[in-house]
Amino acid sequence: MMHMSLRWFGSKFDTVSLEKIKQIPGVEGVITTLYDIPAGQTWPLARIQALKAEIEASGLKVLGIESVNIHDSIKIGSPDREQYIANYIETLDNLGKEGITTVCYNFMPVFDWTRTDLFKKRHDGSTVLAYDQKIVDGIDPQTFFNQTTSSAKGFEMPGWEPERLAKVKELFDAYKEVSEEKLFDNLVYFLKAIQPTCEKWGIKMAIHPDDPAWPVFGLPRIITSKEKILKVMKAVDAPFNGLTFCAGSFGTNPKNDLPGIIRALPGRIHFAHIRNLHHFEPGVFEEAAHLSRDGSFDLYEIVKALHDIGFDGPARPDHGRMIWGEVAMPGYGLYDRALGASYILGLYEAIQKNDSRK
Q: Which residues are catalytic?
A: 208, 246, 273, 318-319, 332
> Of the ranges 38-46, 161-169, 265-273, 299-307, which one interacts with Mn ion (CB under 5 A)?
265-273
Report the residue number whose CB is nearest to Mn ion.
246
* CA dihedral (123, 128, 133, 136) positive or negative: positive
Please, which residue, 71 or 273, has the CB nearer to Mn ion? Answer: 273
Please, which residue, 76 or 248, has the CB nearer to Mn ion? Answer: 248
> Of the ranges 12-20, 68-76, 101-109, 266-274, which one interacts with Mn ion (CB under 5 A)?
266-274
- Nearest-10 crossing angle of helices 180-201, 81-97: 30
Please, which residue, 221 or 273, has the CB nearer to Mn ion? Answer: 273
Q: How many residues bind Mn ion (CB under 5 A)?
A: 2
> Of the ranges 132-140, 272-280, 306-314, 320-328, which one interacts with Mn ion (CB under 5 A)?
272-280
The CB-of-276 to Mn ion minimum distance in angstroms stands at 12
Please, which residue, 55 or 315, has the CB nearer to Mn ion? Answer: 315
195 vs 104: CA distance, rounded Å: 15
Half-sphere exposure in the Cβ direction for 350 (13 Å, CA) = 11
Q: What is the dihedral of CA 68, 74, 80, 83, to 10 degrees?
A: 40
For 289-354, give the DSSP string.
Answer: -SSGGGSSS-HHHHHHHHHHTT--SEEE-----B-TT---STT--SHHHHHHHHHHHHHHHHHHHH
User: Which residue in the set 3, 164, 221, 273 belongs to the binding site for Mn ion (CB under 5 A)?
Assistant: 273
User: Which residue in the set 70, 130, 246, 288 belongs to the binding site for Mn ion (CB under 5 A)?
Assistant: 246
The CB-of-198 to Mn ion minimum distance in angstroms stands at 21
The CB-of-57 to Mn ion minimum distance in angstroms stands at 28
Please, which residue, 106 or 197, has the CB nearer to Mn ion? Answer: 106
The answer to whether the CB of 193 falls within 8 A of the CB of 89 is yes
Residue 71 is a binding residue for Mn ion (CB under 5 A): no
The CB-of-77 to Mn ion minimum distance in angstroms stands at 25
The answer to whether the CB of 209 falls within 8 A of the CB of 249 is yes
Question: By the criterion CB under 5 A, which residues form the site for Mn ion?
Answer: 246, 273
